[in-house]
């Protein structure tokens, strides 16, 4: 079961002289995102990734990781195995640089994706990942859930905060900009068992168990 997340990241697009396209972006760590405001009677729910949460697979160059369009493995833009995707991890963010060949850029999905990015309509970076199995990583070492204090004057309303400490990254996807206010554009919006990016509004109402 792969989970999906979405985040506005400020993708950078550059055309190269050889006809290829260079695409770069970053996924920041330690950014709280609102999954749900709790509605009328529930508790707000927030989520974030700890620094280097994707390190297990990112730190192993032999582990294949793809750059996709909309979490669709039938729409690959680049990959580590093909030598066209480079990942760099730090305490601040996971960054990537991808070289999209002219042949891929001329496919229907490649052409559409690059056009949407250039137009500023698809500027989200969304990781497809799984939590490690509990036999390998105990649950309390893979994720942590805490209670936010009640400080309405500081925008804190007693939310449940989930921090993902370790996750297995399989792909990064280019997605359309999440439909949230500017303060929430880093919002995590994943849904188990879906082959494509879920509706941001629907995802805000879900809390993975």
For 79, other C-beta atoms within 10 Å of its C-beta total 16
The answer to whether residue 205 scores a pLDDT higher than 70 is: no
In the predicted model, what is the mean pLDDT of residues 50-60? 96
Closest by CA position to 70, among listed 33, 31, 113, 104: 113
pLDDT digits (tens, 9 = 90+) for 166-191: 999 999 988 885 422 221 222 233 33
For the cut 90, the answer to whether the pLDDT of residue 111 exceeds it is yes
Taking the C-alpha atoms of residue 90 and residue 64, their distance in angstroms, rounded to an integer, is 19
**Boundaries of every domain in the chain:** 3-203
């Amino acid at each position: 079961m792969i989970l999906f997340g979405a985040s506005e990241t400020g993708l950078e697009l550059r055309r190269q002289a050889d006809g290829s396209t260079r695409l770069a972006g970053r996924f920041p760590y330690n950014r709280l995102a609102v999954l749900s405001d709790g509605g009328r009677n529930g508790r707000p729910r927030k989520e974030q990734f700890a620094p280097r949460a994707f390190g297990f697979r990112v730190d192993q160059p032999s582990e294949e990781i793809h750059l996709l369009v909309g979490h669709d493995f039938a729409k690959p833009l680049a990959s580590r195995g093909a030598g066209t995707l480079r990942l760099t991890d730090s305490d601040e963010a996971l960054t990537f640089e991808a070289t999209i060949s002219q042949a891929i850029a001329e496919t229907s999905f490649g052409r559409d994706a690059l056009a949407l990015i250039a137009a500023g309509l698809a500027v989200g970076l969304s990781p497809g990942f799984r939590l490690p199995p509990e036999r390998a990583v105990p649950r309390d070492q893979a994720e942590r859930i805490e209670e936010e204090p009640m400080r309405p004057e500081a925008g804190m309303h007693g939310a449940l905060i989930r921090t993902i400490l370790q996750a297995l990254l399989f792909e990064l996807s280019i997605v359309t900009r999440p439909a949230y206010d500017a303060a929430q554009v880093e919002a995590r919006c994943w849904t188990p068992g879906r082959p494509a990016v879920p509706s941001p509004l629907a995802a805000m109402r879900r809390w993975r168990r």
